[in-house]
């Protein structure tokens, strides 16, 4: 019973932690704009929290470089399973305009697995919200698959 409640709350009220790997801050501003009264994602139960141990969703913006890849991996490791990783913006997807720089590793998927990619430079708040919704659908499918696997074994 408690497990069902937790699984449902992850879908209906996801807790998000946001990490900027280092960028122009365009995607960060757009990500935080989702929390303003204009878009107001909190009415859907989405909460922006500061602790990855409590988060269900990791929003990553910016270009991953050699200095922050360990921090990104550490944040990922602190999150409990199942977790959802969303890469936002051109820099988060591929390194963007900085991908040829000597210190750039590339996109987020070079360090941790990514579930949803939100393109754009910067990505618009509507696209970020759509990415979170798409990711939550994938999380729901994963939970259903885990239930089916548990019943089968």
43 lies in a domain? yes
State pLDDT tens for residues 47-79. 888 888 888 889 999 889 888 999 999 999 999
Average pLDDT, the chain: 84
**Domains held by the chain: number:** 1
57 lies in a domain? yes
State pLDDT tens for residues 95-136. 888 888 888 888 899 999 999 999 988 889 899 888 888 888
pTM for this predicted structure: 0.85
> Are 66 and 105 in contact, with CB atoms under 8 Å apart?
yes
Q: What is the CATH number of the domain that holds 40?
A: 3.40.50.12280
Q: How far apart are CA 47 and CA 34, in angstroms?
A: 11
- Sheet with 47-48: list strands edge to edge: 47-48, 15-20, 57-61, 84-88, 116-118
4 lies in a domain? no
108 lies in a domain? yes
Domain range for 82 is 14-131
């Amino acid at each position: 019973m408690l497990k069902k409640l937790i699984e449902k709350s992850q879908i209906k009220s996801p807790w998000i932690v946001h990490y900027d790997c280092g960028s122009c801050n365009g995607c960060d501003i757009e990500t935080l704009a989702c929390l303003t009264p204009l878009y107001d994602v909190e009415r859907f139960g989405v909460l922006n929290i500061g602790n990855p141990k409590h988060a269900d969703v990791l929003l990553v913006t910016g270009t991953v470089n050699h200095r922050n890849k360990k921090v990104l991996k550490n944040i990922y490791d602190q999150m409990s399973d199942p977790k959802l990783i969303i890469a936002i913006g051109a820099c988060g997807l591929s390194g963007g305009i900085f991908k040829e720089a000597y210190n750039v590793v590339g996109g987020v998927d070079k360090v941790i697995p990514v579930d949803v990619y939100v393109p754009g430079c910067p990505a618009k708040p509507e696209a970020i919200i759509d990415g979170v919704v798409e990711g939550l659908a994938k999380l729901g499918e994963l939970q259903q698959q885990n239930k089916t696997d548990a019943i089968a074994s």
